[in-house]
A and B are shown apart, each in its own frame.
Chain A
């Protein structure tokens, strides 16, 4: 008999799903003015989870007006130490409802419960705790002696880390005295709606946080609204470019956190077993739906065969399947649309002559799935080495010298993150100083901390989120 882990599903009973959800405007759930709605599905099963309201221009007007009034009358004038109390309260409520939020996130997004339970939710709470601490100390943040909030922030977030991206956006905005109108992604609106309930539970004054669900049109109407002072967006480079054009020439301050094609550089003196873990974590964490994913492995030729053999062996142990199972390592692709995009780009990889290898896993028959995949024999000229796939697909390139590694790593229109694996500190520091990436991880990958600023070079966007630096985006 083999050691087959019995199914260990997390219970869905902690989640009380409603059949339909309204918009959260001015402290209350309301129906959209035009009455439109859309369905959100569990990508692991294609089961419809709930009906969600679609916000139109009239709803955007209402939400921005509520945020404006809350900023003018309550939140803006409130002393930082009082705002901090609300943020601390929200952080504690996120912890208290952690299990519910983790299960909900996994249902709506498809990510493994281990990651939502041990990653997304605790990090989201951490973001609020950290920023609560800044609320009464802003004059010491290095952004002038008397920094002031901007006003109303329009925030549009992606589907890959729905709750965590919400926390990245809302926590600093509120700590700095701004009010927000946030639009979650259309495929993952549910955790934001539970967050709206948490705002009610925390007695957050009405209008400080408003949540508008909807698709691209809702987001476009929100960022284009005249009475918005700040636009913050995380998502694709294409949409980011459209937003930058829409707000050009206005008074609005903008931060954009966009795509990436990060290099994970493994030198021949790297701790190889841990490097393999870092490669796996870099590209298969969250099904590769990570803007800072280590999607390009740059490995020194002298150890390339050894590293690839270890990587393939390790990948055969990855457990792909039911995201609610506590032993699942890789979950479902978030949507049919994203799955089609991954299939299209990997087909291009085949056509361009790269060699495809996928972990031998049995994929579920319903839902959206893609096996963990590695392309070898990839060159800088291949599309799979240049374009963001945003899925569990790794492109492997080799290098001979440190200069070549850095040149190849930097040879991309993006620049969000990079990883360096070496046991030689001087080499790591040398490489980190030359890599054009907002974050460089040394002997690790995909590590996040609210005290550490995050953001990109070039087409990966501009502005920083997190840390003392991230406050600047919400102050004047």
Chain B
């Protein structure tokens, strides 16, 4: 297998004082295994307590609008067509056609072959085009194939790339290999004009199984240059859970404290109700802090969540629950 050569320390500007931890397999392993452990019972109890916060009135209105603006409206099906993507794009720009005060979503997320369609449909809008890449969802392809996948998406106009890590390599302890993958994909995100597509690194936490692994994979992805760390592909259960998001938010908070670099968090898959979304925002607010309450730093990867957010938003403004027929289908 011929992999493109990559430098092991690609982003000293990002990693700051931690720039040299990935100079070798052993130093990277030492660093990741030196991170404090996560107590499963304690982390789940903390998430559950934050889940009891009661968000009402103005706070709820604020949270619903914020959540809408953070949605990466996603379609990742084998049955996707250009028509489906165009209708999704229209909904992304005008989630509630009857209410101009309703914010637009953050991005539309599609497979690479539909990036051009999404790009065209979103022309003139600030809604971003996000593409999954790197042999999504399993990542089981040679590095060359995964990089080609990425370059094609970027060339077709993707603003953001959602890559998957090689969970097999991670679970077998080949951390440097995963690190180099992320570095290489980040380089593949470079455009001809010198700008770079935003990189989200999907950890697929449902396959990593332990919170210790989630914390290590988060740091690995941040050190290697990920702009966002993302829980899941949505194709594996469990996908995003509140405690997993909590552990990842602790990681970005601590990474920022250690290096000054900001990394975002994107829970994806399984967040279907406004209530769940608001719970996540509470965890953001009380873990990474209010600075993370922006679409630049927090996203929801979701397909059906937007509809529930819109229905709750209508209920809050009209006092009535109008039902799914009042929300556009895509």
Query: Do residues A5 and B290 form an inter-chain contact, with CB atoms below 8 A?
Result: no
Query: Do residues A273 and B59 form an inter-chain contact, with CB atoms below 8 A?
Result: no
Could you mark each residue 234-248 of chain A with 1 if its beta carbon is under 8 Å from any beta carbon of chain B, else 0? 000000000000000
Which A residues lie within 8 Å of B250 (CB)? Answer: 273
Smallest CB–CB gap between B95 and chain A, Å?
20
B328 sits at the interface (CB 8 A): no
Query: Do residues B42 and A326 form an inter-chain contact, with CB atoms below 8 A?
Result: no
- Given A3-B293, A274-B39, A114 and B62 touching (CB < 8 A)? no
Query: Do residues A273 and B53 form an inter-chain contact, with CB atoms below 8 A?
Result: no
Q: Once bound together, how far apart are the Cα atoms of A269 and B39, in whole Å?
A: 11
- Given A3-B285, A8-B54, A114-B52, A274 and B60 touching (CB < 8 A)? no
A1 sits at the interface (CB 8 A): yes
CB < 8 Å neighbour of B54 from A1, A271, A278, A327:
A327
Could you mark each residue 24-64 of chain A with 1 if its beta carbon is under 8 Å from any beta carbon of chain B, else 0? 00000000000000000000000000000000000000000
Query: Do residues B46 and A277 form an inter-chain contact, with CB atoms below 8 A?
Result: yes
CB < 8 Å neighbour of A3 from B41, B42, B57, B62:
B62
Query: Do residues B286 and A273 form an inter-chain contact, with CB atoms below 8 A?
Result: no
Could you mark each residue 131-175 of chain B with 1 if its beta carbon is under 8 Å from any beta carbon of chain A, else 0? 000000000000000000000000000000000000000000000
Q: Once bound together, how far apart are the Cα atoms of A315 and B282, in whole Å?
A: 16
Query: Do residues B42 and A277 form an inter-chain contact, with CB atoms below 8 A?
Result: yes
Query: Do residues B290 and A443 form an inter-chain contact, with CB atoms below 8 A?
Result: no
Query: Do residues B59 and A271 form an inter-chain contact, with CB atoms below 8 A?
Result: no
Which B residues lie within 8 Å of A2 (CB)? Answer: 290, 293
B236 sits at the interface (CB 8 A): no
CB < 8 Å neighbour of B42 from A7, A269, A271:
A271
Which B residues lie within 8 Å of A6 (CB)? Answer: 55-60
Query: Do residues B281 and A270 form an inter-chain contact, with CB atoms below 8 A?
Result: no
Interface residues in A1-30 by Cβ distance below 8 A to B read 1-8
B38 sits at the interface (CB 8 A): yes
Q: Once bound together, how far apart are the Cα atoms of A1 and B59, in whole Å?
A: 10
Query: Do residues B59 and A4 form an inter-chain contact, with CB atoms below 8 A?
Result: yes
B201 sits at the interface (CB 8 A): no
Q: Once bound together, how far apart are the Cα atoms of A119 and B281, in whole Å?
A: 25
A471 sits at the interface (CB 8 A): no
Q: Once bound together, how far apart are the Cα atoms of A413 and B271, in whole Å?
A: 51
B78 sits at the interface (CB 8 A): no
Which B residues lie within 8 Å of A273 (CB)? Answer: 36, 38, 42-43, 46, 250
B63 sits at the interface (CB 8 A): yes
Query: Do residues A271 and B286 form an inter-chain contact, with CB atoms below 8 A?
Result: no
Q: Which residue of A is nearest B293, CB measured? A: A3
Q: Once bound together, how far apart are the Cα atoms of A272 and B250, in whole Å?
A: 11
Query: Do residues B52 and A326 form an inter-chain contact, with CB atoms below 8 A?
Result: yes
Query: Do residues A327 and B38 form an inter-chain contact, with CB atoms below 8 A?
Result: no
CB < 8 Å neighbour of A1 from B46, B62, B282, B285:
B62
Query: Do residues B42 and A443 form an inter-chain contact, with CB atoms below 8 A?
Result: yes
B323 sits at the interface (CB 8 A): no
Smallest CB–CB gap between A305 and chain B, Å?
12
Q: Once bound together, how far apart are the Cα atoms of A270 and B54, in whole Å?
A: 31
Q: Which residue of A is nearest B66, CB measured? A: A3
Interface residues in A421-473 by Cβ distance below 8 A to B read 423, 443-444
Query: Do residues A271 and B38 form an inter-chain contact, with CB atoms below 8 A?
Result: yes
Q: Once bound together, how far apart are the Cα atoms of A118 and B43, in whole Å?
A: 18
Interface residues in B281-306 by Cβ distance below 8 A to A read 281-282, 285-286, 290, 293
Query: Do residues B42 and A444 form an inter-chain contact, with CB atoms below 8 A?
Result: yes
Q: Once bound together, how far apart are the Cα atoms of A285 and B76, in whole Å?
A: 45
A317 sits at the interface (CB 8 A): yes
Smallest CB–CB gap between B86 and chain A, Å?
33
Smallest CB–CB gap between B63 and chain A, Å?
7
Query: Do residues A5 and B59 form an inter-chain contact, with CB atoms below 8 A?
Result: yes
Which A residues lie within 8 Å of B46 (CB)? Answer: 273-274, 277
B37 sits at the interface (CB 8 A): yes
CB < 8 Å neighbour of B63 from A3, A114, A275:
A3
- Given A1-B62, A3-B293, A5-B59, A274 and B52 touching (CB < 8 A)? no
Could you mark each residue 18-59 of chain B with 1 if its beta carbon is under 8 Å from any beta carbon of chain A, else 0? 000000000000000000111101110110000011111111
Smallest CB–CB gap between A323 and chain B, Å?
14
Q: Once bound together, how far apart are the Cα atoms of A5 and B278, in whole Å?
A: 11
Smallest CB–CB gap between B253 and chain A, Å?
9
Q: Which residue of B is nearest A280, CB measured? A: B46
Smallest CB–CB gap between A362 and chain B, Å?
17
Which A residues lie within 8 Å of B286 (CB)? Answer: 317
Which A residues lie within 8 Å of B63 (CB)? Answer: 3
- Given A6-B57, A6-B59, A277-B46, A443 and B52 touching (CB < 8 A)? no
Which B residues lie within 8 Å of A269 (CB)? Answer: 36-37
Which A residues lie within 8 Å of B54 (CB)? Answer: 5, 8, 326-327
Which B residues lie within 8 Å of A272 (CB)? Answer: 36
Which B residues lie within 8 Å of A443 (CB)? Answer: 39, 41-42
Smallest CB–CB gap between B34 and chain A, Å?
10
Q: Once bound together, how far apart are the Cα atoms of A33 and B285, in whole Å?
A: 57
Which A residues lie within 8 Å of B52 (CB)? Answer: 114, 118, 326
Q: Once bound together, how far apart are the Cα atoms of A114 and B43, in whole Å?
A: 19
CB < 8 Å neighbour of B59 from A3, A270, A444:
A3
Query: Do residues B42 and A423 form an inter-chain contact, with CB atoms below 8 A?
Result: no
Which A residues lie within 8 Å of B62 (CB)? Answer: 1, 3
Query: Do residues A8 and B42 form an inter-chain contact, with CB atoms below 8 A?
Result: no
Could you mark each residue 407-425 of chain A with 1 if its beta carbon is under 8 Å from any beta carbon of chain B, else 0? 0000000000000000100
Q: Once bound together, how far apart are the Cα atoms of A318 and B41, in whole Å?
A: 21
Smallest CB–CB gap between B36 and chain A, Å?
4
CB < 8 Å neighbour of A274 from B43, B57, B59:
B43
Q: Once bound together, how far apart are the Cα atoms of A275 and B46, in whole Å?
A: 11
Q: Once bound together, how far apart are the Cα atoms of A51 and B327, in whole Å?
A: 56
Which B residues lie within 8 Å of A1 (CB)? Answer: 62
Could you mark each residue 101-123 of chain A with 1 if its beta carbon is under 8 Å from any beta carbon of chain B, else 0? 00000000000001000100000
Q: Which residue of A is nearest B278, CB measured? A: A3
Which A residues lie within 8 Å of B55 (CB)? Answer: 5-6, 8
Query: Do residues A270 and B36 form an inter-chain contact, with CB atoms below 8 A?
Result: yes
Q: Once bound together, how far apart are the Cα atoms of A327 and B54, in whole Å?
A: 6
Which 3 pairs across A and B sit closest by C-beta, in order of nearness? A274-B42, A8-B54, A271-B39
Known: A3-B281, A7-B56. 13 other contacts (CB 8 A): A3-B282, A4-B58, A5-B53, A8-B55, A114-B52, A269-B36, A271-B39, A271-B42, A273-B46, A273-B250, A274-B41, A444-B41, A444-B42
* A-B contact list, 21 entries, CB within 8 Å: A3-B59, A3-B282, A3-B285, A4-B58, A5-B55, A5-B59, A6-B55, A6-B60, A269-B36, A271-B36, A271-B38, A271-B39, A273-B36, A274-B39, A274-B42, A277-B42, A278-B42, A326-B53, A423-B37, A423-B39, A444-B42
